[in-house]
Amino acid sequence: MSLNTQLLNCRRLTTGMLFPTRQFQPGELNRLYATVTEHYPFQSLQHLPDGVRMANNDNDCIIQGGTAPQPGRIQVNENNIFHFEPAKQRALELFEIVCRELNIHQFLTFGVKLTAFLPTDGPNSAEILENSAFAGFRGALDALGPGRQGTGLRVVLNNNGAYDLRIEPFFTDLSQLYVELDVQHHEPFSGILSVEEKMNGAYRFLTEEVRDVLEQLG
């Protein structure tokens, strides 16, 4: 078997919320950084024209007030993760601190992007996709000319959120499949209590429905 889907591993979590445009003062952003670093080991603070970026080697948190008509945003990036649950909890804690300290309670959009990798055994990831999903289409692809490194899938659907799924070879290492799931919820909401279930829902979709699709490729 060329794919063991039990090895599907979520390695990156990006999640964020948009909120109505706000103007932040440098003092309140400095105080926010001091509060955040009591709980989270960000080593650097970068002031942006409309906010800040707090970062360490693997992860960062970006807060921008926006410029009308562009909304503000809070975005957390968790990289090089091996388990979803602790990464999710860190992101939720950051959301809670930022929203409390900056008095942000109304939101326009919530989104979560999960990036996962699946190792292959035998045929490389490009061969697996072309021998399964594109088996009946390879002749047409050949008309594009020589030098094709691989072919990928993209699926977009709307069902309790806007889902954008990509499955393609990981072109820097063809021994792995690259899987990216981006879920956007465009309904305005108040408070952050609802975002954990939306994050859990995206992860379930990745590890259940998407895993079932990958089983068919294998």
pLDDT band at 143 (very low <50, low <70, confident <90, very high): confident
- Amino acid 190: pLDDT: 96
Mean pLDDT over 107-121 rounds to: 96
- Amino acid 2: pLDDT: 66
* Model confidence at 141: pLDDT above 90: no
Write the single-letter amino acid at 143: A
* Model confidence at 1: pLDDT above 60: no
State how far the alpha carbon of 178 is from the alpha carbons of 111, 113, 116, in Å: 20, 13, 6
User: Would you kindly state where each structural domain of the chain is located, as residue ranges?
Assistant: 5-217
pLDDT, tens digit (0-9, with 9 covering 90-100), for 36-64: 999 998 999 999 999 999 999 989 999 99
State how far the alpha carbon of 109 is from the alpha carbons of 113, 125, 126, 191, in Å: 13, 34, 35, 12
Rounded CA separation 160/137 (Å): 32
∠ at Cα 159 (183, 89), nearest 5°? 40
Rounded CA separation 34/130 (Å): 51
User: Is 66 within 8 Å of 7 (Cβ atoms)?
Assistant: no
* Model confidence at 138: pLDDT above 80: no
Mean pLDDT over 57-81 rounds to: 95
